[in-house]
Amino acid sequence: MNILVIIKQTFDTEEKVVIENGCVQEDGVEFIMNPYDEYAVEEAIKLRDEFGGEVTVMTVGPARTENALRTALAMGADKGVLLDGECLSGDEHTIAKILAEAVRKNHYDIIFGGNMSVDNGAGQVALRLAEELGIPHVSTVTKLTVAGTKVTAIRDVEGDSETVETSLPVLITAQQGLNEPRYPSLPGIMKAKKKPLERLSVDDLSVSKEDIQAKTVITDQYLPPKKEAGKVLSGDLQHQVKTLVQLLRQEAKVV
């Protein structure tokens, strides 16, 4: 079974986000593999161990994103592909277009991605990729069964679950609960240094600047305002209700 996992490098979830002049500052920031992508890598490795085959991990980003690929390789993936996006400026449409062109060079039975990235939470790239490739996709999957070419997936639907049946090839996005991602072991980390990692630039792909031009533009970025201390209402119930309505109307301006 030939399996691909698309991953993303994101801020460490413990990092403090700093924004200056509408741009997120990256100086001195610790980067990690997107946590949702860990579920995708784990599921890919489990399927490979069960059915045989190979797991490839792929990402788009600057040179530093190699660290995320090496983490996936240390977990047990077989090889990595880094699509150099050092000078790339785009959105989810751009990334999906670039990935699709790289993916078309090989045949994959299953493509995995994380449900979303923890930095912008768009959850678009993987599904856009499936549409570009013309294959079915199932998102927010919490349980996956593969039997021959038949795929049965249970997906999270806002507190409930839905069972979907489809066939290979298919793209799956992994939701928390699909599995318990393994930690890279010391032997795994050492082996990851020797595993093949291919580097491609956008120029190596048959895409034009017009094809990958962003469809959206970020006009500004800013942190949410600090929350002010709440107010505790006193007095009898009627007085509290009257005061609350006045506050909602005059200060919050929501009624």
Inter-CA distances, 96 with 93, 106, 117, 131, 187, Å: 5, 16, 14, 9, 33
* Cβ atoms of residues 109 and 226 within 8 Å: no
* Domain 2-204, classified CATH 3.40.50.620, yes or no: yes
- Residue 251 CA to its chain's centroid (Å): 39
How far apart, in whole angstroms, are the C-alpha atoms of residue 51 and residue 2? 10
Mean predicted confidence (pLDDT) in 32-58 = 97
pLDDT of residue 231: 83
pLDDT, one tens digit per residue, over 184-196 is 999 999 999 999 9
Residue 19: band (very low, low, confident or very high) from pLDDT cuts 50, 70, 90: confident
Q: What length does the chain have?
A: 255
How far apart, in whole angstroms, are the C-alpha atoms of residue 71 and residue 28? 20
pLDDT of residue 173: 97
What is the pTM (predicted TM-score) of this model?
Answer: 0.86
pLDDT, one tens digit per residue, over 217-227 is 888 888 888 88
Look at strands 19-20 and 2-6 and give their pairing: unpaired
Q: Where are the domains of the chain?
A: 2-204, 227-255
Mean predicted confidence (pLDDT) in 90-113 = 93
pLDDT, one tens digit per residue, over 160-170 is 999 999 999 99
pLDDT of residue 87: 57
How far apart, in whole angstroms, are the C-alpha atoms of residue 60 and residue 177? 26
Residues 6+ apart with CB under 8 A from 212: 90, 93, 94, 97, 98, 202
pLDDT, one tens digit per residue, over 48-70 is 999 999 999 999 998 899 999 99
Across the chain, mean pLDDT equals 91
Mean predicted confidence (pLDDT) in 144-165 = 95
